[in-house]
Amino acid sequence: MLITDLCEACKINKINVAETSDDPDQPYKLCNQCHDRLLKYSLRPIEWYNLAVIHSPNKFLLHDDFYEENGEACQPEEDVIVTKKDKSPTLKNVRKDLESLLDFSITRWFLEDDVVKELKKHDNLMTLRSVKSRFYGTENYEIKSRMLEIVADVLGTSASEWIRELWKNYDEELLYPISWATASSLPIEEGLHNVFEKLKLVSEKELPIASFTCLNRFRSSVILDWIEPTCTMFNDNWGRLAAVCFPTWERMKSWLNKGRPLSLIALDTMANCVKGYGDYYVEQFSPKIIGTDKKEVEQVLNVYYQKDGVPRVKMKVARIVENRKKIFE
């Protein structure tokens, strides 16, 4: 990406203004006309797109309160006249050119499956080279994160040496996306060791959500071994994480016998195996409690309920018993 003195939005006029907005380290560099449209939430789609490639669509003045994903203004303070040349590119327009496709991927709110599919059609080594160049060429967290998402969903083991390098030069801000990339690029034992070590630095309050976010892509029973001594208080995210890590009935019984917080996490783990429970991310994996002696499920749950008969436990036990055919295998 070349440094230029042209407006980042229109790429025609010279830069007149540096608008810091919410990020003094990466101001918008604009001509007067585009600066005016930016502040009035009235950018043309291609102007929004060009800025989103550099700054990400999550930055203030560009995010989804003000623009659709195609760059169409939602709350313009002046009329936005859009001609054919003012429209933003579509996936069909960019899919055959790697650099244009990477630009497009940055402008998406999420790394969508159809974008991943097109990226996989390109040569892995060329993609890795471009991804690394973009990663090191910006200080923007969102763009660095998106590049690591591409490693996670597209490049996998092709990027293993680079991911090892990133762990050696660890940036705390990037823990989540580095963990996602690690899950697909490094052997499980090595990858989990790296993530577990960094999770030791996370506060007790933030640990449950950080653990789910960092570890759910690994889907390993080793994570269940780690949860047992690590978890000191109940949180919904422990059950979400455990559900996608191939929990066994023997482990669920063990956790019930250990009492809180593991007993509550066991109930949440089982309940998260019910479709329609409300967690889309977990549901997409259709988790099950494996190796179950189905004849003893209701008895074991009722014995636990006699020890811990609070309303939450009563509700969870009832849900699990009602859906036991869907939960256990």
Residue 278 has pLDDT above 90, yes or no: no
Mean pLDDT value across residues 301-308: 97
- Chain centre distance of CA 109: 11
pLDDT at 1 > cutoff 50: no
**How far is residue 175's CA from residue 292's CA, in Å, rounded to a whole number?**
36
Name the average pLDDT for the chain: 96
pLDDT at 229 over 80: yes
The pLDDT value recorded for residue 191 is: 98
Identify the pLDDT of residue 295: 95
pTM: 0.94
Look at 47-56, 182-191, 245-254, 272-281 and tell me which has the smallest mean pLDDT: 272-281
On whether residue 245 sits in a domain, the answer given is yes
Q: 21 pLDDT band (50/70/90 cuts)?
A: confident
Q: What is the pLDDT of residues 208-219, one digit of tens each?
A: 999 999 999 999
Residue 317 within any structural domain of the chain? yes
Measured between alpha carbons, how far is 279 from 46 in angstroms, rounded to an integer?
36
* Cβ–Cβ < 8 Å for 176, 206: no
- Asked which of 12-21, 43-52, 212-221, 270-279 is least confident by mean pLDDT, the reply is 270-279
How far, in whole angstroms, is CA 5 from its chain's centroid?
A: 34
3-state SS assignment for residue 174: helix
- Start-end of H helices in the chain: 32-39, 45-55, 91-94, 98-107, 113-119, 124-136, 141-150, 160-168, 175-185, 188-199, 207-215, 221-230, 236-243, 249-258, 262-271, 280-283, 297-307, 311-322, 324-327
Smallest CA-to-CA distance from 212 within 110, 282, 140 is with: 282
For residues 177-190, average pLDDT: 98
For residue 49, which of 4, 1, 88, 106 has the smallest C-alpha distance? 88
Instruction: Please report, rounded to a whole number, the percentage of residues in the chain having pLDDT higher than 70.
Output: 98
Average pLDDT over residues 219-235: 97
Tens of pLDDT, residue by residue over 238-250, are: 999 999 999 999 9
The Cα-based distances of 25 to 107, 108, 304 in angstroms read 20, 22, 55
Do 15 and 6 touch, CB atoms closer than 8 A?
yes
Burial code (b: 16+ CB inside 10 Å, e: under 16) for 295-312 equals: eebeeebeebbeebeeee
Cα–Cα distance measured from residue 270 to residue 128, given in angstroms and rounded to the nearest whole number: 39
Q: Which residues contact 304 (CB under 8 A, 6 or more apart)?
A: 256, 263, 313, 317
Q: Is 319 within the bounds of a domain? A: yes
- Write down the pLDDT at residue 4: 66
Taken as a whole, the chain contains a residue count of 329
> How many domains is the chain built from?
1
Q: Is residue 296 assigned to a domain?
A: yes
Q: Which domain holds residue 257?
A: 232-329
Closest CA to 50 of 101, 109, 7, 5: 7
The whole-angstrom separation of Cα 310 and Cα 161 is: 50
pLDDT, tens only, 60-90: 999 999 999 999 999 999 999 999 999 999 9
d(CA 211, CA 227): 9
Structure token digits, residue 259 = 């009492």
**Residue 22 confidence (pLDDT) above 80:** no
